Structure 1
Amino acid sequence: MARTVGSRIPAPGLLAPAAALVVLAPLAVLWPLPAALGLAAVSGLAALVAHRRASGLAARCDKLSGEIDILSERLLKVEARGAAAATPEAAPPGEAGVEELSVEIGLLSGIVRDLAAVVSAQDGEIAGLKDAQARAQAEAGERAQAQAQSHAALHAAVQAELRARPAAVPPPVPAAPRAAAPPPPPSETPAPRPLPPIGRRPAPVEPAERPDARARERAIVEAFDRDGVSVYLQPIVTLPQRKVVAYEASARLRLGEAVLAPAEFLPVLERHGRSTDLDRRMLQRVAVIGRHLAGRGSEAAVSYALSPLSLFEPGFLRDLARDPADPALAGRLVLALSQACWRGLDREQAAALAALRERFGFGLDRASDLRFDAAALAARGVVQVKAPAELLVRAASGGRDLTDIAVEDLVALVARAGLRLVAEGVEREADVPDLLDLDVPFAQGPVFAEPRAVRADVLGAPPAAPEPEETGPPPPRRGFRDFLRRAG
């Protein structure tokens, strides 16, 4: 009788699925949906291979079962022959046959046990792959939903800020003399550069389709391209001493004989994709101003408010982080973002800002309410919070829709967190005693000083056209008791 010997089948290797999991799992952080689809495809392929192997093992088990049945029949026949044999000489062949069949049955039993273990391992691996696929799909869906909600919130916040920004009123343009050269044709003007499509980037509001408005926009863009931007500084003072402790830098655009404020030209630059270029130029000049103040021994910091659209510019914040650090500017430069931007930061933008904390301080301005989380802002590196003076006074007089706690408690809370609270836009002397009653430590506005242009020699640029000098004696300086008497 021929011996039937089965070979042991080793457990299938999981090298390819494991390698796929190791490669696709990190990619799920950057591209969640494609990684989830790839993981699902790998899991389906592994399940198909496992099913085919299990089917083959089941077929082998059936074949071995048939062989065991044949051996069992042979064993019964041998036992019957041994029982029928009457002489002792016939016993040895029967015993030898039984022993041989017992050995073969033992081998077959071991093979069957191995096959059962392999099938059980395959079932466990398939179940594990299905669970991993379900978890990966759920995590990818949660990440995609959270990212979409964050972009949608920031989009809505920036759109609300752009809509709330006052429309620029063009100044009256004097009639041109007859001998003046005609304006250049539209074909010679540079075409506006479109904003790069990045995610859910907020789209600036389109201007009214008027010939004069389009001509004015072209003139503003041409003046910007000719580098007609100048830097103005406005001091931030202490109360009640009125000592200068910091400066705020803002841009002005010279258009012919007129000097435009940011509210007049910044919406045009945002529509034409120039706002990030403006921020780059201003940050370079603000750094020069900071070095100049450090060389004079001044401890004053200089802040500059970034455009909300610059946060969506690819590489803008990363380029700032790659610039070589200047020890002379440590703690002197403050990047200000609006309250809407701080509330709508996504994970990537927050990480890019965190990489700048070693060389820049951060500020919050353009506040629409007084619901500040001082501890969270301080944890993100914010050192200065600016709120309109009118907003502080109105909230203190009963505007409960602007703050959750009393303004006096808010001022103390911000001070305990190590933040500098600045009341901006102080236009009347009568508001100063109210701010002192609220214990506001710093203020900024026309009452203390108007924004003044930085000299060309400070910026290291060729001297610009001289500005008209102010005529008349300077305004008299009144004492603080006179202010209190007038306020009473």
Structure 2
Amino acid sequence: MQALVYTFIALAAAGVGAAAYFGLIFTPAEAILAAVVFGCACVVLMERALRQRAENRLEKAIEDLSRLLATDAQAGAVLGQRINAMADVNAGARLEGVEADISVLGTVIRQVAEAVAEMEDRAAKPQPVGRDRMIAAAPPPRATSAREIEPVIPLEMLRQAVGENRLIYHIQPVVTLPQRRPQGYDLVPRLMLEDGDLADRADFMPRRGGEDVLRHIEGIGLVEAITISRRARTSGQPITLYLPLSRATLGDSDASEQLIASLEANRAIAPGLIFAINETDWQSLTTGERAIADAVAKKGAGFSLVNVKSLRVDVAELAGQGVRSLRIDAARFIEEPEVYTDFHASDIANYIARFEVTLLATGITTERQIVELLEDGITLVQGPHIAAPGPVRPDLMVEAGRPAAPQLRRAEF
């Protein structure tokens, strides 16, 4: 292609020379010089155009190469991230979770098979007729639930005692097995009587009505818990406190606003505050009360459901709502585990722990119960056999307006 172009340039130069010789009456030497100059100028212009074209092609090739290198670098970065992610995967933990699921599934299948076999055996037996059949078909009578015992101290006397600052808070430890190290402490309200004796919660806490007194008692407990937590954190011994909470506080606008404001002002210690609320109250929360509970969880505090009657619940949903522990009666769980769950007793604790929720057995009265709970994988316990409620150290208490309490050294923090 370039040879053809140069041929045309030579022909054009010859034509220019001929035109100069014949048309412009140049001498032969001048005509040849004009032809040579024209041809050189054309060659220079042609070479410049070719060089610019080559440079443009080279720049484009470099851009394409840079783009390819950038794509390769990005692909390398993605590959590195995937390799790092694969390196960070804890295969052992996942395998343990799969093994736990398989164990639970095997237990459920075994229980289903036993139930089916029992039903087949019952179906194979001849059914009695007449009156005997009617008696056999009748369902067994249900045990009548114990009627709630009314508090010994009337509501008005309680209101007067609270107004006179005769309400004090003791603590009862929650320990982990088998070391029996304190995991946290329950704030236990007690009422100081006029003769100096202490009344327990069951003796004065109202069952029906008295929401204003409940709010006042729980407000005092919140102030006490914040003071103890802040002073314990300052002394280098942060603790976990379980403090009582009810719908009387969650359902009142002023009390709930004060609760949220207190948690907002004490965000540093909020994760160490766990509100113990009755399971019945938790399940009966209205939309507004549920919103307050969610706001409490967002501030960092948690919840512990008290008097749990059944573990057939959505544990993942409870964990998402801020529930950290489920409290069950130790004696009833040991004697009648089927009342709480369809899982095997040794599997339920591990299953619930997968959702970062802990089973807490309360009411420990004997050493045998501790051994059986350890066999079932329950390591968080509380009860009179572990330690009775006792006073807090004086340097951690709210000192203003508090009467002196008798020293109980067993549970002193």
Range of TM-score over shorter length:
0.5 to 0.7
Q: How far apart, CA to CA, are the structure 2 residues paired with 1:248 and 1:470?
A: 15
User: Residues 219 and 319 from structure 1, CA distance in 2 versus in 1: closer, same or farther, beyond 3 angstroms?
Assistant: closer
Q: How far apart, CA to CA, are the structure 2 residues paired with 1:342 and 1:464?
A: 32
Q: What is the letter of the counterpart of residue 258 of structure 1? A: D
Matches within 5 A, 1:10-409: 165-169=148-152, 217-256=155-194, 257-267=196-206, 270-271=209-210, 273-323=212-262, 324-357=264-297, 358-396=299-337, 400-409=338-347
CA-CA distance at 1:217 after TM superposition: 4.2
Secondary structure of 1:328's match? coil
User: Residues 283 and 465 from structure 1, CA distance in 2 versus in 1: closer, same or farther, beyond 3 angstroms?
Assistant: closer
Residues 371, 402 of structure 1: 8 Å contact kept: yes
Secondary structure of 1:240's match? coil
Q: How far apart, CA to CA, are the structure 2 residues paired with 1:435 and 1:225?
A: 42
CA-CA distance at 1:451 after TM superposition: 0.6
Q: How far apart, CA to CA, are the structure 2 residues paired with 1:269 and 1:227?
A: 22
Q: How far apart, CA to CA, are the structure 2 residues paired with 1:436 and 1:282?
A: 32
Give CA-to-partner distance per residue, 1:64-85, whole Å, 9 cap, x none.
xxxxxxxxxxxxxxxxxxxxxx
Q: Residue 349 of structure 2 corresponds to which residue in structure 1?
A: 411
Tell me whether 1:450 sits opposite 2:391 in the alignment.
no
CA-CA distance at 1:301 after TM superposition: 0.7
Residues 386, 422 of structure 1: 8 Å contact kept: yes
CA-CA distance at 1:429 after TM superposition: 1.5
Q: Residue 59 of structure 2 corresponds to which residue in structure 1?
A: none
Residues 317, 353 of structure 1: 8 Å contact kept: no
Q: How far apart, CA to CA, are the structure 1 residues paired with 2:151 and 2:261?
A: 36
User: Residues 275 and 337 from structure 1, CA distance in 2 versus in 1: closer, same or farther, beyond 3 angstroms?
Assistant: same
Q: How far apart, CA to CA, are the structure 2 residues paired with 1:427 and 1:297?
A: 33
Any unmatched runs of 5+ in structure 1? 1-161, 171-215, 475-488
Q: How far apart, CA to CA, are the structure 2 residues paired with 1:269 and 1:283?
A: 22
Q: How far apart, CA to CA, are the structure 1 residues paired with 2:389 and 2:408?
A: 14
CA-CA distance at 1:456 after TM superposition: 4.1
Q: How far apart, CA to CA, are the structure 2 residues paired with 1:439 and 1:163?
A: 30
Residues 221, 269 of structure 1: 8 Å contact kept: no
TM-score (ref. length: structure 2): 0.58
247-256 vs 318-327, greater mean Cα deviation: 318-327
CA-CA distance at 1:409 after TM superposition: 2.2
Q: What is the letter of the counterpart of residue 336 of structure 2? A: A
TM-score (ref. length: structure 1): 0.50
Tell me whether 1:461 sits opposite 2:404 in the alignment.
no
Q: What is the letter of the counterpart of residue 240 of structure 1? A: P
Q: How far apart, CA to CA, are the structure 2 residues paired with 1:351 and 1:464?
A: 34
Root mean square deviation of aligned Cα: 2.6
Residues 219, 255 of structure 1: 8 Å contact kept: no
CA-CA distance at 1:371 after TM superposition: 2.4
| Alignment counterpart, residue 367 of structure 2, candidates 429, 432, 436 | 429
Residues 457, 463 of structure 1: 8 Å contact kept: no
Q: What is the letter of the counterpart of residue 451 of structure 1? A: P
Q: How far apart, CA to CA, are the structure 2 residues paired with 1:243 and 1:456?
A: 22
Secondary structure of 2:212's match? coil
CA-CA distance at 1:312 after TM superposition: 2.3
Residues 395, 403 of structure 1: 8 Å contact kept: no
Any unmatched runs of 5+ in structure 2? 1-144
Equivalent residue pairs, number: 263
354-363 vs 263-272, greater mean Cα deviation: 263-272
Secondary structure of 1:303's match? strand
Secondary structure of 1:452's match? coil
CA-CA distance at 1:407 after TM superposition: 2.5
Residues 244, 300 of structure 1: 8 Å contact kept: no
CA-CA distance at 1:431 after TM superposition: 0.9
CA-CA distance at 1:272 after TM superposition: 6.6
CA-CA distance at 1:332 after TM superposition: 0.7
User: Residues 328 and 422 from structure 1, CA distance in 2 versus in 1: closer, same or farther, beyond 3 angstroms?
Assistant: same
Q: How far apart, CA to CA, are the structure 2 residues paired with 1:350 and 1:469?
A: 39
Q: Which has the larger radius of gyration?
A: 2
Residues 247, 285 of structure 2: 8 Å contact kept: no
Q: How far apart, CA to CA, are the structure 2 residues paired with 1:327 and 1:469?
A: 32
